[in-house]
Amino acid sequence: MTDTNFDVIVIGGGPGGYVAAIRAAQLGMKACVVEANHLGGICLNWGCIPTKALLRSSEIHHLLNHASDFGFTISGFSFDLKKVVERSRGVAKLLSGGIGHLLKKNKVQVFDGFGKLEGNGKVSVSKDKKKIADLTAKHIIIATGARARVIPGMEPDGKQIWSYREAMVPTEMPKSILVVGSGAIGIEFASFYRNMGAEVTVIEMMDRVMPVEDAEISKFAQKQFEKQGMKIITGAKTSKIEKSANDVTVTIEKNGKTEKITVEKVIMAVGIVANTEDIGLENVKGVKLDRGHIVTDGYMKTGEAGVYAIGDVCGAPWLAHKASHEGVICIEKIAGQKDVHPINKLNIPGCTYCMPQVASVGLTEEKAIEAGHKIKVGRFPFMGNGKAIALGEPEGMVKTIWDEKTGELLGAHMVGAEVTEMIQGYVVGKTAELVEADYMHTIFPHPTLSEMMHESVLDAYGKVIHF
């Protein structure tokens, strides 16, 4: 007989859900996961992981095209798009299978079906619209994630108008693409296709690309994208899409004027919508929504006793590492662990794996001033770093923002090669509440890109030496 009574039921097996279930099992709780599609969720199967595999291929293609800069002569090379895509899918499949193994190893039962809250600690599970199980638990965690936002009249058709799914598995390389939206998803696809040879146009409603990033970093990144040959249109929106046999004509509105752009494919990347429909929220009256997302406290509790929510379904930032951390916080609080800290969203790093990479944590310069801080700002260019020059990656910048009175690190913002690997140094510092003196007295190895983190602090306080 299959067990149906648990200590914890997790609805959703993405990076928040499966982590929560495993942590529950580690703490001696009987846990299960209800997953309707793929273990690992969108991130592992159709998001974070496979896109990074694609971007790695595009980076190699870029390097091959610039081999002469490093003393190599290469001619007549080409890429096999089918193999590029197959590698990406293979990476996702390998890791998805690993999640299943981890759950089994930790004795977490997995129900292959769609979970629905029935109230009073009950969850029904259905498959192909047929009920397969009724589960009960004292604690239920909603981890249903989110999906791509769709603009009426511009719905992806899988052929000429793509969602992220179609953009990840092209059968042919388009000659031209319009990317609608320049958040992390949009700009990463723009970077992939541009570096693989497509003509790319990006349209963004806000006044700059990657609008959640610091304005100075965003402006720097945009210049680099344009140097690579991208066309970027900001402060504009798409008002109409007309499809013909072999291309798409998009009408763009900006400053009261319209223009038409014709491309082979359009990628829609205009945000996401939380998956809250049909999961039984009407049966748990204490669960509230705010702009479509489930409202929780710092420990991921909803207004309904015994019901919690983690990950994208709770709102921004929509990041896998946020979801995983929320899952751990939620379970450890349920288990009565001591020293469980509520999540601090200002300490969550954001990374965009375009070329050049962008990474940040904390407040932007604008937000720091709006919050009433008197600030000091430090900057250090990649051009002043020996390792960056040796790598052939001299374009970039590290920017730090400090509270003038306390020395608190308010925000760190980077653009350039491998900054997604460097940002964690500032994240650890923010979490540990280090001040500027701690960074100044830290010895950074030479020659490394990380030295720029040190130099940015020194620059903020008028002590920089190497530039």
Examine the domain organization and report whether 259 and 299 are in the same domain: no
For the segment 132-153, the average pLDDT, to the nearest whole number, is: 94
Of 321, 345, 369, which marks where a domain is finished? 345
How far from 123 is each of 137, 144, 270, CA to CA, in Å? 8, 14, 32
Which residues fall within 8 angstroms of residue 312, CB to CB, at 6 or more apart? 14, 16, 145, 146, 272, 274, 275, 318, 323
To the nearest whole number, what is the mean pLDDT of the chain?
Answer: 94
Within 13 Å and on the Cβ side, how many CA atoms surround 172? 7
Identified catalytic residue from 321, 373, 446, 454: 446
Calpha distance 349→340 (Å, rounded): 20
Residues 298 and 406 in one domain: no
Same domain, 44 and 57: yes
Q: Residue 336: inside a domain, yes or no?
A: yes
Domain that holds residue 298: 5-148+273-345
CATH number at residue 139: 3.50.50.60
pLDDT at 466: 72
User: Predicted confidence band at 1 (pLDDT cuts at 50, 70, 90)?
Assistant: very low
User: For a pLDDT cut of 90, what percent of the chain falls above it?
Assistant: 90
Is 446 catalytic? The answer is: yes
Per residue in 287-323, pLDDT (tens digit) is: 999 999 999 999 999 999 999 999 999 998 999 999 9
Confidence of residue 113 (pLDDT cuts 50, 70, 90): very high
Tens digits of per-residue pLDDT, 241-264?
999 888 999 999 999 999 999 999
Peptide bond into 50 cis (omega under 30): no
> Is 220 a member of any domain?
yes
Query: Pick from 243, 270, 297: which residue ends a domain?
Result: 270
We report the CATH number of the domain holding residue 381 as: 3.30.390.30
Q: What is the pLDDT of residues 93-108, one digit of tens each?
A: 898 889 999 999 999 9
pLDDT digits (tens, 9 = 90+) for 347-365: 999 999 999 999 999 999 9
The string of pLDDT tens digits covering residues 55-104 is 999 999 999 999 999 999 998 889 999 999 999 999 998 988 899 999 99
**Any domain includes 466:** no
Could you give the C-alpha distances from 73 to 44, 65, 76, 312, in angstroms and in order? Answer: 37, 10, 10, 47
Q: 289, 321, 345 — which closes off a domain?
A: 345
How many domains does the structure of the chain reveal? 3
For the entire predicted model, the pTM comes to 0.94
